[in-house]
Amino acid sequence: MIQTIRLAVDLPAEASGRSYDILIGSGLLTEAGAALAARLGKRQCLIVSDMNVAKLYLQPLRANLIAAGHDCLAPVVIPPGEASKNFETFAAMAEHALGQHPDRRLVVVALGGGVIGDMAGFLASVLLRGVDYVQIPTTLLAQVDSAVGGKTGIDSAHGKNLIGAFHQPRLVLADIAALKTLPPRQLRAGFSEVVKYGLIDRPDFFAWCEANGACLLAGDEALLQEAVLQSCRAKAEIVAADEKEAGRRALLNLGHTFGHALEAAAGFGDALYHGEAVAIGCALALRFSVEEGLCPAEDLARYEKFCAATGLPYQPAASAGDIPQLLKYMAGDKKNRDGKITLILAKGIGQAFVAPGIEKERIETFWDKTLKRPARNG
């Protein structure tokens, strides 16, 4: 049994009172009530989950919260998947919550993957003009990325996560044991967000992923805990320095501008998971960097070899979407300025940087060349 590790997310002085702990261990779902009470006192709780996760963990979590003295409202349970991340579902969630007459002592408890964390966090940010929330991420992708940092939101027809708010959780419980129930494809998709931190500014961590990826994806708890710890530590450092993405935090979007466009073109469904889109997006960012003479071709080849070895995709299919559609989605990215696209590019593995002012015509040419390449994925 692995020992629980506590990692503090220390926000700057002006954010006093909003710093919080991330607990990373095995079996933390059975300790959630006590952990919440120790930090926030006994509270009114609203669990938000999806139908798949609820079958596994909703009743045990609810019983644990009640046993610790919390007052649990009737939970919100929505259909699983990115397709639920919309205004209609969000409105139903809010009305369900308000129909139970919550007060400002309410804590929204996000139990699930990235979709649930984003939507529950957004609900907490606007319900009664803002209440506390706790993240209990049950996927690798959520544990290493979306549950940390306070980005919340829903999707629009114009793109992913274009409606939302920055709203930090009060506690994150990353239960490694919950990852045992993930299908292999979903675990691999989450691993792409782990690898991303190595590509951004931690080349030694990328090498660690190369050395340990196969055993980690086979379910080794100690390796999974280390991956979550290192990923959360990397993200916490960036968030503490740039909470609302005025500068350096944009680096966390490596692979996401290309990836979000592919994900939107695929319909935000099971055809392409978010983590798979990010894996492809990172390859495209490196390839674009190589073509611009910024990055050694050897680093792109190394990343693609790693993806092939771990089963991650790295090349979009020719049918991934028509180029005007992909450009439209990229044009709606929140990082863009003055009608030009901002990408996160790299001078090599572990050397990512923000590249503003890229003309759409250059990206159009790149897409045309990329989509004509034969797909060679893991």
Distance CA 117, CA 98 (A): 19
Q: Please, are residues 26 and 223 in contact by the beta-carbon 8 Å criterion?
A: no
Query: Taking 60 as the threshold, does the pLDDT of residue 364 lie above it?
Result: yes
22-36, 180-194, 235-249, 254-268: least confidently modelled range: 235-249
Write out pLDDT tens, residues 214-267: 999 999 999 999 999 999 999 999 998 888 887 889 999 999 999 999 998 998
The set of residues, in sequence order, having a beta carbon less than 8 Å from that of 373 and lying 6+ positions away, is: 315
Distance CA 289, CA 305 (A): 17
Amino acid identity of residue 191, one-letter, is: F
CB atoms within 10 A of CB 161: 18
pTM of the model: 0.93
Strands (E), the chain: 5-9, 20-25, 44-50, 71-72, 76-78, 106-112, 132-137, 151-156, 159-166, 171-175, 341-346, 352-358
Residues designated catalytic: 129, 151, 193, 235, 245, 249, 253, 256, 260, 274
Distance CA 144, CA 148 (A): 7
Comparing C-alpha atoms, which of 298, 296, 266 is closest to residue 281?
266
β-bridge pairing 159-166 and 106-112: unpaired
Residue 186 corresponds to which tokens in the numbers above?
Answer: 């979903």
Distance CA 295, CA 347 (A): 4
pLDDT of residue 318: 80
Q: Please, are residues 163 and 13 in contact by the beta-carbon 8 Å criterion?
A: no
Residue 286 corresponds to which tokens in the numbers above?
Answer: 């490196």
Write out pLDDT tens, residues 271-282: 999 999 999 999
